[in-house]
Structure 1
Amino acid sequence: MRGNASSSRRLPILALILCAGLQQVFAAEAGEEWLYSFQPGDNLWDLTDRFLIDQSYWNKLVRLNHVKRPRQMPPGTQVRIPLQWLKVEPASVRVVDVRGEVLLVRPGEAGHSLDAQAQLKHGDLLKIGNDASVLLEFADGTRQLLGSNTEVELLRINRFSDTGIGDTTIRVLRGKTENRVPTKGTRFEIRTPSANTAVRGTRFRVKVPEAEQSRSQVEVVAGTVNVTGDAGKLVLAAGFGTVVDKGAAPAPAVRLLPAPSLVAPANTMRRLPLELRWARVPGAKAYRVLVSHPGENSVPVMDVRLTHHRFSTSSLPDGEYRVRVRAIDAAGLDGEESEVGFLLDARPLPPVAVMPPAGGTVRTTAVNFEWSTPPRVSGYHFQLSSDRQFKALAADEKNLGKTRLKLPSLQPGTWYWRVASTFGGEQGPWGAVQEFMLKPEPEAPEVGFVADKDKLQLYWQPGRPGQHYRLQIAEDEGFQTILVDEVLSESRWSSPRYPSPVHFRVRVIDDDGYAGAWSPAQTVFPEPEPWYLFGIPAIAIILLAL
């Protein structure tokens, strides 16, 4: 009887234990799980010892997965393991790249600048300055890009043993984050003043505007995100975004604006400023342009917001880049992005042409060329050609140390020239092609004249078609008192003969209005009187005397 009584007392206790165990199993079935695939040599006992909190979870694992033969589980068998059963240990966060001023503040310590490759931990606070950014990598491979003017706190930085999955919670006080969570099953949560976002394997962006810190903006690029506000929840799918205000539920999901259609640049960009254009996106109020180096390990070197559909800059150093462009809607949500890559090779910068002026006319066969001095230049490469493609080179001067060059004798015609800078054995891009016309100065004409007692005629050699002539006739050799100043289309001129000495000269005016040199001044005297006219007065005096 005593034994039966003892047994009867143990039964309720065992029932309670069994119920508690079943409740844990049922709770686990309703919660988050990790799926493990058996490898050769695996068994449930070792699996429990390696991943779970303690060996007591072996039976729970068997019941949860309805395992009938624990000793005969072939490779490939999948076992469900609730996250709450897994061992949890602190993890760290690696700083992959940092640009600009980023302040790290740890509990009980003064803040200091964040260094690349630093290790962050639970409780750390990051303050990203203006025109700065930082890229973080978590133990499970999750990456988070923090943009300029962002402030975040690492609330929970854990991992589930050596499962490869993490348990992370980040508080975003202000600014913008871009998140890529590649590991399925990872618990990654972002908290803002107005919303919580929880994901397990996705790509999404969370922003807290500087001017509206009671508002959160969430944009999903891939996967799904659970967004929770103070008054409701929303499951956000890829390609959609939402806005959450403090005290409210998430706004209905809206489709993100499509990726802008970029005008593809050349694979190698050789000129500055660098320009990139795209088609307008209907509904876009602005655009975001992010410029970074190739690969996944660098932060953007530029992150600009524009109101027009064109990006231009001269501040990027030479190198390989990728540019991402997004349209921004009226709610401030970034849309889907377009991406393009190129090589910028624009240095050393080309000189700016000084003379001859572009499109000008040179009047001497000995032509002087001059150009500016760009920064970081050791020499110049000069080319002159009779064609714009520079196939027929008339001059190809390399390793010039000065910014001036004189070519003594060129033929009349149209010429093209360009200059490139050199530095450290490397030649930069050619400067803009300059064109000029070489037209020697019209020669002073040789002027002849024919005169009789009544008429004066001037003549000279005809010029080229389109040329005119300027004739001046003056009373004095200095041509101060001008009697005639005419522009003629023919190479001759006539007038009544002057009763007093006159001086004349002629110059050629080219078809572009350029006037050549004056011909040597010549003098025409009046027709002399007959000799007998001088004797008449004398004869008259003699006759009167008789």
Structure 2
Amino acid sequence: MLKLIRNCVAVGAAGLLALSAAPSAAEESDDLTYTIQKGDTLYGIKERFLLDSVNVNELRDYNRVRNTRGLRINSAIRIPREMLEFTPVEITVFRLSGPVSIAGTGAQTEQAVNEGDVIETRRNGFVTLLTNEGARISLPSNTAARLVRARRYTLGNTLDLDFKVERGRASASSPSLEGQDRLQMRTPLAVTAVRGTEFRVAYDPESGEFSLTEVTEGEVNVAAGGDQIAAPAGFGIASSAEGVGEPQALLGAPEFINGGAIQTGEALEFAIEPIANAVGYRVQLAREAGFLDVINEQRVDGTQTTFTDIDDGRYFVRGRAIAANGLEGGSEAYTFRRKQLGVAAEAGPGDDYEGFRFAWRANGEGESLFAFQLWDEANPQTLLVDEVGLTETEVILTDLERGRYQWRVAVAQADAEEGLLKIWGTAETLVITE
């Protein structure tokens, strides 16, 4: 049975607070602290920082204060976040692709996300959220996450961003946080929070066994089952209801054999150099180097991956090696051009009974030139026909003797970046029996 994790928080190591009452980490998770200044009273603190609906006696009882007016200077009191006055933090959809919904309806760029909203991506759906202060949350396909809090408290001008990943994966990036600021992401099993770093979390509700945290920059603390442990960049942690596992080194970034090559085929094809101890790879395509605008993603068990229905343009690809425990490693982005270019061809009897017609058409956009070659299958080194610079899309040959021939067509286009692009089609066989 899963343990209920309440009031359990992790903050960056530099942000652990020394409270006068020395509460446990579990007790301090949803509290902010305030250091008593000369002249402070609980009534004054209530007026400055607390919601109107909060009674000062609640703050007194929570901190076991006997004299509400005689507070010791430089001592610290704890204030639950739910008591604090705040202004909402603006979070909007920055980029999205494919099927994405917010609060049950289709998402749109620049749409606001409010506390309590569930952001859900389906197959080939991707979304990146941005705050007006620069924090970023990205959700890939088949993920559901709920915005728990997006607030800036009056007390200390403190930022509080809190997401719950209910299914799938999410990555977070935050600018440098100050004081008691936090960016927190939780799953049903664990809580991860940071102070100016980049990390990922993952949770599979079907297995429900582990919550994964992967640190790509900075350091995070992970809390689960009453335990709390720090993980530096390049390490990951698998947490369960029983507690937090030991940090494990993430696998390195895989190399793409043809990562930067221009892609001209009907589909994009990438080959990955195998990494030891990897059981698979996650490969993503994006329109920009920061991968805020992801357009497709695949998880493959082998080292070959193929993407279809990708328009011409410049894109970025990156991959992450997946370990047996599910932790995903580092990545390195490659930029490449997508320019579909190819040729489809066919052969048949010409208008003249003695002739054969070879016809073709170019795949892709742009003005094209063509080349045509034909040779005897038994003597491929000697070309019987070798025509280049053709503007026509067919040729007719006559007086071909009986035999087995092979032929092919090339398409060529001038490209501003690559110069002349020339793609040969597959060699076809023509058999003449009469």
Identity %: 24
Does residue 151 in structure 1 map to residue 144 in structure 2?
A: yes
Inter-CA distance 409–139: structure 2 relative to 1 (3 Å threshold)? same
Per-residue deviation at 1:383? 2.4
Whether 1:167 aligns to 2:160 is yes
Opposite residue 124 of structure 2, the aligned amino acid is D
Q: 1:284 Cα shift? A: 0.7
CA 1:514–1:305 in 2, change beyond 3 Å: closer, same or farther?
closer
Picking from 106, 109, 124, the partner of 1:116 is: 109
Query: Helix, strand or coil: the match of 1:268?
Result: coil
Q: Does 2:93 correspond to 1:92? A: no
Please say which of residues 116-125 and 158-167 is displaced more in the overlay.
158-167
1:201 Cα offset (Å): 0.4
The one-letter code sitting in structure 2 at the alignment partner of 1:354 is E
What secondary structure, in the 3-state scheme, does the structure 1 residue paired with 2:255 have? coil
Of structures 1 and 2, the one scoring higher in RCO (CA 8 A, sep 6+) is 2
Structure 2 gap segments, 5+ residues each: 1-17, 23-27, 34-46, 50-72, 376-380, 414-418
Tell me what 2:369 maps to.
381
Are residues 1:203 and 2:198 paired?
A: yes
Distance in 2 between the 1:437 and 1:286 partners?
A: 39
Any conservation in 2 of the 1:202–1:222 contact (CA below 8 Å)?
yes
1:287 to 273, 281, 298: 281
Show the counterpart of 2:219. 224
Residues in 2 aligned to 1:343 and 1:334: alpha-carbon distance in whole angstroms? 27
Matched residue type, 1:313: F
Question: Which of residues 123, 127, 130 is equivalent to 1:134?
Answer: 127
Cα distance in 2 between the residues matched to 1:214 and 1:318: 42
- Correspondence 1:306 to 2:294: no
The equivalences for 1:293-332 within 5 A come to 293-296=287-290, 298-332=292-326
Structure having the higher Rg: 1
Write the deviation string for residues 496-539 of structure 1: whole angstroms up to 9, x where unpaired. Answer: xxxxxxxxxxxxxxxxx9999xxxxxxxxxxxxxxxxxxxxxxx
Please tell me the residue identity of whatever aligns with 2:323.
Answer: D
CA distance in 1 between counterparts of 2:111 and 2:264 reads: 37
Could you tell me how far 1:244 is from its partner in structure 2? 0.9
Instruction: Tell me, yes or no, if the aligned pair for 1:93 and 1:139 is still in contact at 8 Å.
Output: yes
Name which of structure 1's ranges 258-267 and 191-200 shifts more when overlaid on structure 2: 258-267
CA distance in 1, matches of 2:387, 2:363: 28
3-state SS of 2:342 partner: coil
For residues 235 and 301 of structure 1, the distance between their equivalents in structure 2, rounded to whole angstroms, comes to 33
**Structure 2 CA distance, aligned partners of 1:53 and 1:265?**
57
* 1:385 shift after superposition: 6.8
> CA 1:277 to 1:93, structure 2 compared with 1: closer, same or farther past 3 Å?
same
Shift of 1:308: 0.5
Structure 2 residue aligned with 1:9: none
Kindly indicate whether the alpha-carbon contact (under 8 Å) linking 1:288 and 1:306 is maintained by their aligned counterparts in 2: yes
> 1:258/1:25 Cα in 2 relative to 1: closer, same or farther (>3 Å)?
closer
Question: How does the TM-score come out when normalised to structure 1?
Answer: 0.55
- Distance in 2 separating the partners of 1:215 and 1:225: 18
Unaligned runs of 5+ in 1: 1-23, 34-51, 55-62, 65-81, 106-110, 357-363, 439-512, 517-546
Residue 178 (structure 1) aligns with: 171
Q: Which residue identity is paired with 1:239?
A: G
Partner of 2:330: helix, strand, or coil?
strand
Matched, 1:262 2:256: yes
Whether the aligned pair in 2 keeps the contact of 1:351 and 1:421 (CA below 8 Å) is: no
Amino acid in the other structure paired with 1:212: S
Paired positions, count: 347
C-alpha contact (below 8 Å) 1:189/1:198 kept by paired residues: yes
Q: What is residue 371 of structure 1 aligned with on the other side?
A: 359
Aligned to 1:237: 232
Q: Tell me how far apart the structure 2 counterparts of residues 437 and 114 of structure 1 sit (CA, whole Å).
A: 52
The corresponding residue for 1:477 is: none
| Alpha-carbon contact 1:324-1:340 (below 8 Å) kept | yes
The one-letter amino acid paired with 2:108 is: D
Residue 185 (structure 2) pairs with residue 190 (structure 1)? yes
Q: What is the CA–CA distance in structure 2 between the aligned matches of 1:514 and 1:141, rounded to whole Å?
A: 69
